[in-house]
Chain A
Amino acid sequence: MTHRNPAAISWMVERQHEYVLRAVEERNVKLIRLWFTDVLGQLKSVAISPIELENALEEGLHFDGSAIDGFSRVQESDVLAKPDPGTFELLPWADGGSTGRMFCNIFNHDGKPFEGDPRHVLRRNLGKLRDAGFEMMAAPEMEFFYFADGDPQSPPKPLDSGGYFDLTTSDVASDLRRQTISVLEQMGIPVEYSFHEDSPSQHEIDLRYTGASEMADQIMTFRLVVRELALERGHYASFMPKPLAGMQGSGMHLHLSLFEGDNNTFHDDDTPYHLSKTGQQFTAGLLYHAREITAITNQLVNSYKRLVVGYEAPVWVGWARNNRSALVRVPVTRPDKHSSTRIEFRSPDPACNPYLAFSVIAAAGLKGIQEGYELPEEASDNLFELDQRSAKKLGIAPLPTSLAEALDEMERSELVQEALGEHIFEWFLRNKRDEWRSYKAHVSQWELERYLPRW
């Protein structure tokens, strides 16, 4: 019944452009922000006026990429940003709702996708999953802190713990969170749950699952909304993985499943915990390649201060049904809800680049499925109290304990190299080695306090 009609396809693109142009006119939009993401996961934005919009939609927007992290190349730095009209949304909080935004795809001058564009890298990796018949669904638990300000010169002051900062009450942060959720929902980012976390001023907002590519866009939007709304009230929201020593850090646990059409391929009535063979192999892939992909899912020096024993963060490479220090958790789901069978990958933190994190996760999981990896034994509860030596005896590997170690693992990984592509792989390693060098040369307060009096 389906005969491909080229005119109908170009008509769809025209309709989408027309839709955006109409919306801009009817809603009196004054400014359109064109968004893209650099290799480190920072949101970049070029603003254009409605007059420039039609041309930007049809031709794209040329700009010099050399100023953007990971975009510069030796020979050429001019790239073309093409807005994705399907992502046009108004920003409800900005300028009384008269600002719109679209995500862009970045192209080289020869019309080929630019390899330094994380959104393209994710599309490529999800394309491989799709070729194998799978669509990856993701739902993140976003954790973050509200602080009184963003001044890096002094330790951050939590907003809602009386002892720390008595000018405000806990209601301020809760109000802020409620307002944030309302803006997210207006922007079509449905929220599943939200609550106050264990640490003072730490909050969690769980997003409802959607396709991984759209979810990566949503995470970028989420981080901006949370931060901008906090700033509007004179506060500061942070996704730094471990901003307060001795307190729980901020993670971005990811709930993952693979769908084939209507069917959740992670579900099987006849397997233990209803995790299908495919689900087991995907998990095995994540575990097997966990050490290689950690530099991407946990990309800051500070990320590794969260991945320590005693704070419900994963430390060892293992899976379990109900152990919160396991790297992968297989949540118990209702037997009649096949669509909710999933795994929870617990190492990523909210400071990662979601496009690249989803890319390496998809690649590791797919490898597990294609090579038929066996899922190791479930980690026993007390395992996580064991020390390094006992773990080694049991054949349980630790996650990398520092950015340097994670980079070493990544550099040796063919899987990560292929998933990210040569351009980003090399640039990321170079940039992050620099970050580590600079950190290593730094003498911290801890060292001064500990060593100066004695030596």
Chain B
Amino acid sequence: MAESFVVFPNPPPSDLARALDLDGHRWTAVSSSTELANAEPEEGFTGAIIVADEQADAAWALCRDLRKRDVPIEPLLLLVSGNQLEELASRDDQYDDFIITPFHPRELDARLKHLLWRAGRGVRPELIEYGPIALNVETYQASLEGRPLDLTYMEYELLRFLTAQPGKVFTRETLLNRVWGYEYYGGARTVDVHVRRLRSKLGEEHANLIQTIRSVGYKLGQSRWG
């Protein structure tokens, strides 16, 4: 089963989105229970990550809803600010673990893994594959048709991001935010430049795996479903 977390709110804080992306966790953001129902994959969500530090009321409401379902979405990891700790006391049944914001990305990854382990579920796959491309998110190794593909750190992160969601079109803006993050000050041209570099490393034969979608952005390969 492909791992996929549901995340509240939509859009989530950018540091959360990025930390999940970089650790190779798949996720879908929702702003309400209704939206969740529509976005839920057939096999259900792996778990939920609810950020309660800004829209607390809506977050608590969603936690309640998730627990009340016939098949609850578990485990549920809560992100709260330090001064919300009192609010947790009366809600012990509505979450499985929590982290104080601002959080350390390593803590997020460690808690998610631990929650999944306790729930008897496997952790995310270590290999992301599409066509001739294979990426090992644990060792950072990339390969093309079984041969090592030597990438710089940002090239690797960009390729991993695109490969994890084949067929999906991303705008330059999205790629900048999700792959480079907020501490990056360059413009959207950075994305074009890195795509060109990736294509040149993929070589002539595979360069077209990454397609330019005119006046939108980029996608890698085709979606499995169409």
Contacts and interface: CB of A to CB of B under 8 A. Distances in A.
Interface of A: 1-9, 11-12, 15-16, 18-20, 22-23, 26-27, 85-90, 92, 97, 130, 135, 137, 185-186, 188-191, 208-211, 214, 259-262
Contacts of A208: 196
A100 to B, nearest CB: 9
A4 B172 CA distance: 21
Given A27-B148, A88-B152, A262-B188, A190 B197 contact: yes
A343 B154 CA distance: 29
A89 B196 contact: no
B152 A5 contact: no
B197 A261 contact: no
A331 to B, nearest CB: 19
Contacts of B3: none
B127 to A, nearest CB: 14
B148 A8 contact: no
A193 B23 CA distance: 38
Interface stretch (B70-78, B87-95, B99-107): B99-107
9 contacts: A22-B141, A88-B152, A92-B150, A130-B185, A135-B187, A185-B203, A190-B197, A259-B187, A261-B187
B64 interface: no
B189 A137 contact: yes
- A-B pairs, top 6 by smallest CB distance, nearest first, are A188-B197, A7-B104, A5-B102, A185-B200, A190-B200, A262-B188
Given A87-B152, A261-B187, A2 B14 contact: yes
Give the residue among B15, B148, B190 with the most A Cβ atoms within 10 A.
B15
Interface string B1-26: 00000000001011100110010000
A9 B154 CA distance: 15
B14 A89 contact: no
B200 A2 contact: no
A5 to B, nearest CB: 4
Given A6-B102, A22-B140, A1 B189 contact: no
Contacts, number: 109
Given A22-B139, A85-B153, A5 B200 contact: no
Nearest to A11: B105
B156 interface: yes
* Residue picked from B19, B141, B187, B199, most chain A C-beta under 10 Å: B187
B181 interface: yes
A37 to B, nearest CB: 19
Given A8-B102, A262-B172, A19 B153 contact: yes
A247 B197 CA distance: 35
B189 A262 contact: yes
A211 B201 contact: no
Given A1-B11, A11-B104, A15-B22, A26 B155 contact: no
A130 B181 CA distance: 18
Interface residues of B, number: 42
A20 B156 CA distance: 11
Contact of A135 (B155, B181, B186): B186
B42 interface: no
Contacts of B14: 1-2
B189 A259 contact: yes
A6 B103 CA distance: 9
Q: Which of B19, B172, B188, B189 has the most CB of A within 10 A?
A: B189
A261 B188 contact: yes
Interface in B178-226: 181-183, 185-190, 193, 196-201, 203
A95 to B, nearest CB: 14
Given A22-B140, A185-B201, A11 B156 contact: no
Contacts of A89: 150, 152
Nearest to A182: B203
A368 B224 CA distance: 52
Given A27-B150, A137-B189, A185-B200, A8 B18 contact: yes
A19 B183 contact: no
Contacts of A16: 153
Contacts of B148: 26-27
Nearest to A127: B185
B200 A9 contact: no
Nearest to B17: A1
A90 B148 CA distance: 12
B139 to A, nearest CB: 6
B192 to A, nearest CB: 8
Q: Interface centre among B18, B152, B185, by most A CB within 10 Å?
A: B152
A12 B188 contact: no
A3 B102 contact: yes
Given A20-B153, A185-B203, A211 B13 contact: no
A29 to B, nearest CB: 10
A188 B200 contact: yes
Contact of B13 (A3, A92, A185, A190): A3
Contacts of B199: 190
Nearest to A100: B150
A146 B79 CA distance: 62
A11 B188 CA distance: 23
Contacts of B140: 18-19, 22-23, 26
Interface string B104-130: 111000000000000000000000000
Contact of B141 (A18, A26, A185): A26
A185 B197 CA distance: 8
B103 A19 contact: no
